[in-house]
Structures are given as C-alpha cells and as structure tokens.
Amino acid sequence: MKRKTVGAHSLELSQKAPESTDPIELERAMQQDYIKNLGEAVDIALKNWKHDFYIVVITKNEKLMPNVFRNYFTTRQSCPTPEYDQSVFRYKYESGSVEYIWTVPSKDSVYHLLKNSHEVVKAERELLLMAQKYVDGSLFVLAKKLNGEQEKSPLLVN
C-alpha cells in the first residue's frame, strides 16, 4: 500500500475547508503532540545524562508547503543562544520537572508584535514580552547566566 507524501497531504488540506474551526480544539490537539514529543526528548536524554539539561524546540515552516509546520526537538547540556523560531525548556534532574524558559517567534512575528505592541491582545502579551526581551538582549543575558558565563553587554540582535 502506497503512502501519501507530506506534500500530497498539504495540497489536499489547502484545497478543503478545515474539519474543525474551533481554535481551542485545534490548539489542544497540537499541544498533545508537543507535550508527547517533549517527554520523548527528555526520556532519550535521561539515558545519557544524570544532571540538568535543556530541550530546544525549533519550529520550521516548509517552504513549498505554507500550511506545514514542523517542530524539531533536541537536547543539550548548555542553554542555547536565543534565536528566531525557538523555544527552550530546562529539565531539572533533582525534581524531575521541566521548566519553560522562553519562546522566540519567527522574525516576521517579532517585527509584527513590536510594531503593533499597543494592539496585542492579552493572550499574546507573554509572546510580546519574549519578543521584547529577545530584541533588547535580555534573553541572551539570561542564557549566559544559566550557563554560568561571565555577563558582558549583549550583542545587538537583528
């Protein structure tokens, strides 16, 4: 039995109306996969590390399929430098808990949030705050602090 490619699914979905227009239902479905993948990344890292570590989630939009976004989950022992399309979590080994650190949206989204900050709805205020912290270098300073590095003035972010 031949399976459809992601491109075939993307084209098919772009040509029909969404099955559900309830944004809350759509968000719940996306969060279930996200949490599952986050847990899997933690489980894999725990096979090698017995200390705190970071989970980095990079969100990529498929260039030829504008309605397809993919999240790539990786783990690392140090806090990464903040970048566009990135979420960072820290796994605390002693407590066995996952702590949310930041999300930096896409470059276009950061620009849009900052340009329209006076119109940002309450539900997007935290994302606006993250965008501001990214641009002013606060997230860079936080990453250095979490890594135990000497604080220097942050680099200008483009």
Per-residue pLDDT, 61 = 75
Per-residue pLDDT, 104 = 94
Per-residue pLDDT, 16 = 53
Q: Exposed, middle or buried by CB within 10 Å (0-12, 13-18, 19+), for 106?
A: middle
b/e burial code for range 124-137 (CB count within 10 A of at least 16 → b): eeebbebbebbbee
What pTM was computed for the model? Answer: 0.76
Per-residue pLDDT, 86 = 95
Mean of pLDDT over the chain: 82
For the chain, give every domain's residue range.
19-146
